[in-house]
Structure 1
Amino acid sequence: MKNKVFSTFMATAITATLIVPVSTANATSNDVSLNHSVQIDGQVAAAKTKGQNVTITSIANDKVRTSNGQFKISKSLKPLLNTSNNAALANAEATIVVKNGEITSITSLTLTKGGTKNKALDLDGGDAQIAGSLTVNADYVKVQNVTIEDELIVTNRVKKAITIDDVAIGDTIIFRPLLTKNNNWLNVSLKDIKSPNIYLKRTKVSVTSDKTISKVDIVGKVTAFEVTANVDKLTIDVEKDFTLYGKGTIEQVVVKQGAKVALNSGHLINKVQVDDKKASVTLPVLNKTELSNLVASPPYVAVSVYGYDISVTEKWTTQAERTTFESAVSSARAVVNNSYASQEQVNNAITQYKNALNVYRTVQKNGTKYVYGDKSSLQSMINSVQYVKVSSNNGNDVASYEPWTTQSEKDALTSAVSSAQYVVNNYYATQSDITNAISNLNYAITMYKNAQKYGTYQYNADRSSLFSLINSVQYVTVSVNGSELSYNVVWTTQSEKDALVSAVSYAQGIANNSSSSQSDISYAYSYLYNAISTYRSNYKSGVNYNHWHYVDKSWLTSLINSVQYVKVSENGDGSDIPYYELWTTEREKRSLEKVVQHAQSVASNAYASAYDVTDAINKLDKAIDIYKDAQRSGTQ
């Protein structure tokens, strides 16, 4: 690209030279060979100078006024040399190539005017090209939409801020050093710049970029640098101490020279290479959170030879397969415990562990030992399902005190009920099948209730629906613990029945009161409807405690073992937790711990019923979901 541009400059410069008048002596000379030699020498000299140095004073009517006179503007440079850039280009120093009174190329440009903190001075190149370097020599400048063939140079006069937006830079962004020792941070914003290179001779430069920075070279007397971006390679070659600030991912850091070099910033640095053996390098704090979490509770399954002794709901492997995975876990734990491990080693350990885990899961097989499951909780949930009216007219055909859904919303619940009933009727259904059916039906009921809306049709104090609901109430047997009842008898406690009796009494009073308004009737209907739903959800099947039977708790135990806690923020807002780690409040953690403790007590209770186990599974599963939803990333 550079050779092509240079060739174009040569041709332009030579053409310009040919139209410059030669001296009178040369013009009148009869020595043709001498004339030719002078012209060639002039051409080469003009090519080397690349143009004339000018100071731009103003732009108007497609013409540029300069310290060397007025020039027309070529089509390619009109997006840059136009009136919208008058303020930015005022007193700018430029090297221009002129042909036939027209500026055809700019080989260097130095901006001397700046903006303010509240309003930057914009230079919008309109995708034009500067066939050389651009130098910014003033504060609060925004350079955008321009192609720079060589370097973009930021001088020591830029002390506060500069923005570079959608600029193609052929070479490097160079930051020249300040002459004073006490200086504030220079804020540099890079936007939409593809793979920029930075050469830094100035200390306290803070760079943010929305694209990956290819290379950063830090040299000389630089003591501090901040970069909030991803960087492919960062090279440090400084005279004294140096500190790195910021965050992002840096693939490689090379320390060529330095005294005390602090790399313990918020960056994720994958590789550090120290060439200067005398340098004291403080390595970054590694992010081992993911690896630590992976090896904290490896998902081991049972070991068997043929699986005859393993339940059909559980997985198993051979001892050899288990040993292979244990070896991968041990290797990963060694990296976690190694204080000298690099981020690259940590990342490799994560990859190797996950590969080993995939292999381990691939070889897992289900056992062949059958265990019967308890279906009482599932049947109770099926019995509790209540459908509401179906509207085909967006509720306009349903009374204002009655809830309704669409046919498709009802069909979704009907399908879930049918699937659950199939599991109940399946003699060979396992505890896992039952648990999944409970979870699916519970979700379908929740979605159905959330979809319910009240109708919009207004009756004149119509009590028929309320009377109908009252008459639909049916009570089941009352018991203390169901021990005296057969397994096929449904029962509730006396207090659960009393709650429904109270709701029926209230609804009956509203229905019998001739002064009840439509609003009163609607409320009574809703109140009784919810009471009936609660009553049915409390249905339990009878239990014969004289005949103890085995209850499978493997699913509950597995769920307990899957619980993983994250860090607790003492400040309560995550400001004391690194951005790459998750956190919750102490209260959110304790809420889960209480449910885990309850589940553990059920798992440890030899006399726990299948209902107790299923209830503990549902509560713990819900608590885990709530705990995960509460997790946030730190802000440190």
Structure 2
Amino acid sequence: MKKKTFNTFMATALTASLVLPVATANASAPSEQPIVVAEQGKAIPSGKVSLTITSFSNDLIYTSSGQLKISEALKPIFKSDNHAALTNAQATVSVENGKITSITALTLSKKGTSKKPIVFDGGQATISGNLTVAADYTKVQNVKVTKELIVSNRVKKGLTLNNVSVGSTIKFQPLRMKKISWLNVSLTNMPNVKITTQRNKLSLISDKSLASIHVTDDVPQLKVESDIEKLVIDVKKDFSLLGDGIVQQVTVKKGKKVDLESYHQFKNVQIDDKNANVLVTIVDKTALNTLVAASTYVAVSVTGHDVVSTERWTTQAEKTAFEAILNSAQTVANNPKSTQEQVNAAHTQLTSALATYKAAQKNGKKHTTGDKATITALINSIQYVTVSWNNGSGLSSSTAWTTQAEKDALVYAVSTAQSVVNNYYATQDQIVNALNNLESAITTYKNAQKYGLSSYNGDKATLTSLINSVQYVTVSWNGYDVPYNMPWTTQADKDTLDYAISNAQAVLYNYAASQYEITNAINNLNYAITNYKNAYKYGSNGNGYYGDKSSLTSLINSVEYIYVTVSWYGNNLPPNTPWTTQVEKDALVYEVSVAQAVLYNNYATQYEITDAINRLNNAITDYNSAIKNGYYY
């Protein structure tokens, strides 16, 4: 009766492709003996066996040829998470005494979806041969393949490879169809990848540089979003490369029209096929990248008293000016669309900015040693100025003053330093700290000094300059009639600024206006200008992303024809020879560099472009006004 039941079960098992429950399998044969194949009635022989995987448990795998034990080295592959991926997978395995000791070939054929791919996780185990992916939307990860990873023509839309070590190459087989979609392949954490492709419309994206790509057969298009060490093109007809990245070496062995005018940067191009028509632009960014890498910052300080004398420092404003040029150069260096002209201009601009930045650097003033005599001499050198309670009103324009709080801060620093001098047991650290703190307090006090406001006629130059600097933008009710990225305000916003300008002009035209009145007019107008700019909104007409830079480009290009001779006094130049000082020229050069930073900024708004044009126009006007004629006879 038991024998009859067992035979009936075996017949059922054959019909069900040998998907056997573990308990029945264990009951039918002892675990330490080779499994008897149901349809053959004999053990699976040792050696290489080709089979179809139907299911597996913790220690056993069920196949079209019977069941086998799983070696420890392969157990990470045959884990429950891989059930879906390994269902009906074709495999060639090495068998020893009923146990799989290695996998020499594996084909994954279970299809996933874009939202739910089939995942095969090798658990860092090794496939001692080829791995073939033969289904769409498969994710292969954490496995070592000693030979080739083959992507069959059944994979038509998507494939993900993560942390897969491939001993030979990743090979993409051809797909012969009239209408073909892009096959999107993502590679992550896979260094030193070598690829051979016969597949048209293959789109590769990798987080690491690809060691090599060999394009063969009839492949008209390839897209690569990563760096490539070596690209070999050996095609029958036309070929186009899409995407971006850096290609160190490209070799055209064969092809008709080979279009490499993508966003890639090519370091070296070798053309073996003399009949090939190769379209390529090589942009050399080596010098720019080297200069960017060499552009480092120093410490930022207000007075330098917090920076030791062995280190260099600049003010925040000096760093910010250099930082803008450096960032602009970095943008050009990183932009795959940059032309050689833009690269050269960025290099020139950064060279000048770096020289200016280095010239502005100063040695720190922070002491590391000191003595009491130095502190005493410093205390004795202090000269206090007048204290004013009403912003200098009532004091002559030649009288320096500070507030009581500003004086008190210095008095406190002096008192603290004097207590250290009087302390017989003061340590060297206490003496050095007192010296540094007192020097810093003196510098802060001097920087806080202002001059009185009383005089017959006040200085109106700043007020005049501020009024002339006002720039209006478009007036609109709702911005619908204003181009995209064009600033605008309401009429009420403009009227408020107009009122402030009118008040400032009244002070400007008042011959008897005091310095106090002029200062108030300046402060009020500055406040109104700030509010006006804060009211800016941007138009909604159109959908462009970038402003029109044509006027800015023309203006920058016109500057080279404006420069005249540089001289100290002009006494070394013939009459009628125009000249300016180096300082006057440098002022224009700086404004040109600011305008170029906007020009090379792909995301500059129309407001930023307009502001750059206005600034440069003003600088050109100032420069032309500074031109004088030589007078050497």
Q: TM-score, normalised by structure 1?
A: 0.49
